[in-house]
Amino acid sequence: MKVILNGTPHDLDDGASVATCVAYLTTATTGIAAAVNGEVVRRSSWSQTSLGDGDLVEVITAVQGG
């Protein structure tokens, strides 16, 4: 299955979840937000939120500094 992850096409196994995408991009455990097709997905639902072919996934990491 192909999804667009942060603007870049990626091939993922069928049944991949939002948690799969987050783990692919970062090892951070806090300060992360995720959305699928423009809808924010709660962290508690990442593992249960399966992706489909063509889904647009955005994973954002908060950055601190000045």
In a domain, residue 66? The reply is: no
Average pLDDT over residues 41-63: 96
Structural domains in the chain (count): 1
In a domain, residue 17? The reply is: yes
DSSP assignment letter at 18: H
Question: The domain containing residue 15 runs over which residues?
Answer: 2-61
Average pLDDT over residues 14-38: 95
Task: Say if CB 17 and CB 44 are below 8 A apart.
Answer: no
Residue 65 has pLDDT above 80, yes or no: no
**Which phi-psi region, left, alpha or beta, contains residue 38 (left: φ > 0; alpha: ψ -120 to 50)?**
left
Q: Which residues pair with 4 in a beta bridge?
A: 9, 56
Predicted TM-score (pTM) of this structure: 0.90
**Closest alpha carbon to 50 in 37, 62, 60:** 37
